[in-house]
Amino acid sequence: MTEVRVPTLGESVTEATVATWFKKPGDAVAVDEMLCELETDKVTVEVPAPAAGVLGEIVAAEGDTVGVDALLAMINAGEGAAPAPAAAPAAAAPVAGGGDAVDVMVPTLGESVTEATVSTWFKAVGDTVAQDEMLCELETDKVSVEVPAPAAGVLSEILAPEGTTVDASAKLAVIGGASASAAAAPAAAPAAAAAPAGSADVENAPSANKLMAEKGIDAASVTGTGRDGRIMKEDVLKAALAPAAAAPAPAAAPRAPVAADDAAREERVKMTKMRQTIARRLKDSQNTAAMLTTYNEVDMTEVMALRSQYKDQFEKKHGVRLGFMSFFTKACVHALKEVPEVNAEIDGTDIVYKNYVHMGVAAGTPQGLVVPVIRDADAMSFADIEKAISEKGKRARDGKLSMAEMQGGTFTISNGGVYGSLMSSPILNPPQSGILGMHKIQDRPMAINGQVAIRPMMYLALSYDHRIVDGKGAVTFLVRVKEALEDPRRLLMDL
């Protein structure tokens, strides 16, 4: 007997509502066959069968609210292999004239990511492909995902051309044997034609029906995004907000007319999903947080001298260069211990204090800004921090970061100095309550013990959420960072 439990729902999501059961007690199920659909306040999650067998007791009925890892149902050992062949007639049809056909499906995209855009196909129909050879690249609002060939053969059909938006369970292409390509395309048409007939009568999520009844919304006016066009709770919420969202629209003036001579020299490019998400999240951050920035400056003389003295030995021993980021990470960890609210977040009417530091390090890439997270940075050495930053920075530039590597940060460091920025006000990365902005190191005359001396100085900026961090705490944090950098021995003595 196998338990079916609620999977991980995503960051900060603790419960879900059982929207729809696709199977009933007594039905035979195959491994990974969809059993039910859960609905959270952010995404819908399909729950696959962890084993083949017969669906026994359903513990959580439609409409029930369940927590993470809650028991949903039981699968009894039995005739679970039977549905698998029945579910695959469409796949079997194309191969009547040749070798086995293999579907190329959208790979796992990560928590809370439900769709992607096909950005590039590296192969054309008729091309021979080797197993694990890259077929195409998908672009989500956070990362780029390469799709390898699940088997060797001939690319017989591309179902999602470049620019197509596909969901997390979509079929991208078909790989057949040497003679399968000719048969694959005709066989796909009947399967596609049969789809609308099956979706003519779809039962909506119970929570969606309840909400539509409460708000007096006609189901015909709601676009369903669930399985087979099923209307989910979030679809109803979007429909309910649509009139309110439409009201401000007239205030957004259309783009002013452009002279014909100028128009011919302009280029209009559609924003990538990543850029759209960056724009939306940054604006949401401004609209949600009571954001304020405080500034200070730090004399980098001691850090630069220490780095210059030990950088060769450091690189020889640890195999990585000693940069400034490890010093700033250590200094921030030191300051966060004294001012824990900067490392906290707001959750409704609660403040969640984090007794650990997952340090986000903002990195500019050709695709846009990403923030990989160095987990448990408070327990890492200088060498560990430098290695982690170097490795994640390379993966970020190559577009290889996974969703998990960009989630869970508690504080962020952004270094605009690498681009020559002298002063800026960084924007918070929600739900975090603080972000430190580093800037260019520049020689400036400073008054030192009554004498004017030229010192390498850097402006520091701390943007913080004033709802949770008071001015005293923000200033104290920045002063502690300054003190640790101007006298790195304080980090060793924990002062």
Specify whether 466 is catalytic.
yes
pLDDT tens digits, 199-243? 445 667 666 777 787 777 888 788 877 666 778 777 777 777 765
pLDDT at 385: 94
Specify whether 470 is catalytic.
yes
pLDDT at 433: 93
The 115-121 sheet, strands edge to edge: 144-148, 134-139, 115-121, 165-167
- Point out the catalytic residue in the list 167, 466, 487, 494: 466
DSSP state of 99: S
Cα–Cα distance between 457 and 442 in angstroms, integer?
A: 5
pLDDT at 110: 63
Cα–Cα distance between 435 and 413 in angstroms, integer?
A: 6
Average pLDDT, rounded, for the chain:
81
- Point out the catalytic residue in the list 69, 167, 470, 487: 470
Q: If the chain, 495 residues long, is cut into consecutive pieces of 10 residues, what is the mean pLDDT of each piece?
A: 82 77 88 84 77 89 85 77 41 45 82 76 88 83 77 88 84 72 40 40 68 78 73 76 52 71 82 75 82 94 92 92 92 94 91 93 81 92 93 84 84 90 89 93 93 95 94 95 91 71
pLDDT at 149: 87
- Residue 313 Ramachandran class (φ > 0 left, ψ -120 to 50 alpha, else beta): alpha
pLDDT at 238: 78
pLDDT tens digits, 254-311? 777 878 888 888 888 887 776 777 788 778 887 888 899 999 999 999 999 999 999 8
For residue 221, what is the enclosing H or E element?
A: none
CB 129 within 8 A of CB 155: yes
The two structure tokens encoding residue 399: 């577009």
Q: Is the pTM of this model over 0.85?
A: no
For residue 414, give the nearest of 392, 437, 394, 396 by alpha carbon.
437
Cα–Cα distance between 79 and 53 in angstroms, integer?
A: 5
pLDDT tens digits, 147-185? 888 888 888 889 988 888 888 788 899 988 744 433 344
pLDDT at 91: 39
Cα–Cα distance between 203 and 432 in angstroms, integer?
A: 39
CB 261 within 8 A of CB 403: no
Number of C-beta neighbours around residue 233 at 10 A: 23
